[in-house]
């Protein structure tokens, strides 16, 4: 596996607010403990209020990471799509964070620490910041990608062995009806076994289904959440991801990578992701 290939491999994007908060706290705490215990880059020369002054660098880390984790994804939503997150994006994201941290720490040290701490220029602060954390974090990315990729592949293999082959529904007369929010068009009615999957499309939902041996699709004016609620009585219909509702009987294959498990449907659709919090046994 070459480096370019590895950089393009899928990687999980941190999405849950509680996970983001834990990461912000962990990095800030690590920074403070590292500076306080080892006192690198002239920190030992600080004679007055050393512990409080060093706490400011940890606060800079917390401020930058809070901005990057909570505000930046809201400002640039198209750039932060979990289904398209890759190793190279994670590395760039971290590098960007380090640059901001270095700039903020430089400003903090040049103002608050002007008379009590050794002074460095901006490039020196960037080198200091990178030397403290970039290599451990790159190593973490490498190990995390390998671990999650191996684990999800193993889970996918186990599910493939347990899953029964796709067959015609045991309830061939079962029909479903999806009612849109507008009365301009009638409901979408079809046999349960003909429903393949539905995907969110902004405030709309696109439904894929079989008709006369051909895959058809229909755009409906309603949310995916509404579709899932209307189909809640059908145990074969599951919402495996916030953007997808699928028919278990139409799943042909399950694969895995570091980011998630992925489903290939009977229509040939590849890489419908499975949310990391979705119960794996519900795919069977």
Rounded CA separation 82/87 (Å): 12
Give the closest residue to 138 by CA, choosing from 102, 104, 101, 97: 97
- pTM (2 decimals)? 0.82
Query: Measuring CA to CA, how many Å separate 56 from each of 53, 60, 74, 87, 111?
Result: 5, 6, 27, 31, 12
* Helix/strand/coil for 118: coil
pLDDT at 131: 80
Give the closest residue to 247 by CA, choosing from 176, 197, 177: 197
- All domains of the chain in start order, with CATH: 3-160 (no CATH), 167-283 (2.40.50.1020)
Strand partners, 197: 208, 246
The neighbour count for residue 193, using CB atoms within 10 Å, is 21
Query: Measuring CA to CA, how many Å separate 74 from each of 68, 87, 237?
Result: 10, 21, 31
CB 254 within 8 A of CB 262: yes
Tokens 């409080």 sit on residue: 52
CB 19 within 8 A of CB 26: no
pLDDT at 184: 67
CB 245 within 8 A of CB 222: no
* Helix/strand/coil for 178: strand
* Phi, psi dihedrals of residue 19, rounded to the nearest 5°: -70, -40
**Within the chain, which residues score under 50 in pLDDT?**
169-170
* Phi, psi dihedrals of residue 110, rounded to the nearest 5°: -80, -15
Give the closest residue to 110 by CA, choosing from 95, 124, 96: 124
CB 217 within 8 A of CB 224: no
Rounded CA separation 274/284 (Å): 13
């Amino acid at each position: 596996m070459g480096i370019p290939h590895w950089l393009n491999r899928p990687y999980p994007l941190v999405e849950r607010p509680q996970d983001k908060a834990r990461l912000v706290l962990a990095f800030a705490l690590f920074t403070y403990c590292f500076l306080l215990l080892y006192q690198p880059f002239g920190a030992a020369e600080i004679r007055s209020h050393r512990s409080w002054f060093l706490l400011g660098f940890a606060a800079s880390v917390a401020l930058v990471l809070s901005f990057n984790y909570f505000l930046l994804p809201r400002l640039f939503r198209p750039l932060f799509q979990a289904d398209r997150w890759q190793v190279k994006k994670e590395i760039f994201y971290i590098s960007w964070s380090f640059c901001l941290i270095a700039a903020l720490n430089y400003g903090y040290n040049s103002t608050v620490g002007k008379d009590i701490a050794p002074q460095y220029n901006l490039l020196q602060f960037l080198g200091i910041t990178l030397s403290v954390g970039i290599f451990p974090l790159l190593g973490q990315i490498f190990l995390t990608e390998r671990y999650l990729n191996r684990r999800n592949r193993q889970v996918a293999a186990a599910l493939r062995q347990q899953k029964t082959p796709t067959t015609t529904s045991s309830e061939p007369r079962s029909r479903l009806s999806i009612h849109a929010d507008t009365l301009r068009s009638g409901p979408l009615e079809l046999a349960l076994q003909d429903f393949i999957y539905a995907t969110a499309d902004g405030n709309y939902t696109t439904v894929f289904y079989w008709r006369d041996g051909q895959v058809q699709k229909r755009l409906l004016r309603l949310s995916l959440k509404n579709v899932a609620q209307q189909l809640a009585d059908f145990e074969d219909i599951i919402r495996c991801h916030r953007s997808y509702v699928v028919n278990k009987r139409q799943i042909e294959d399950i694969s895995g990578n570091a980011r998630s498990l992925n489903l290939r449907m009977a229509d040939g659709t590849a890489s419908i992701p499975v949310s990391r919090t979705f119960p794996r046994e519900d795919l069977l």
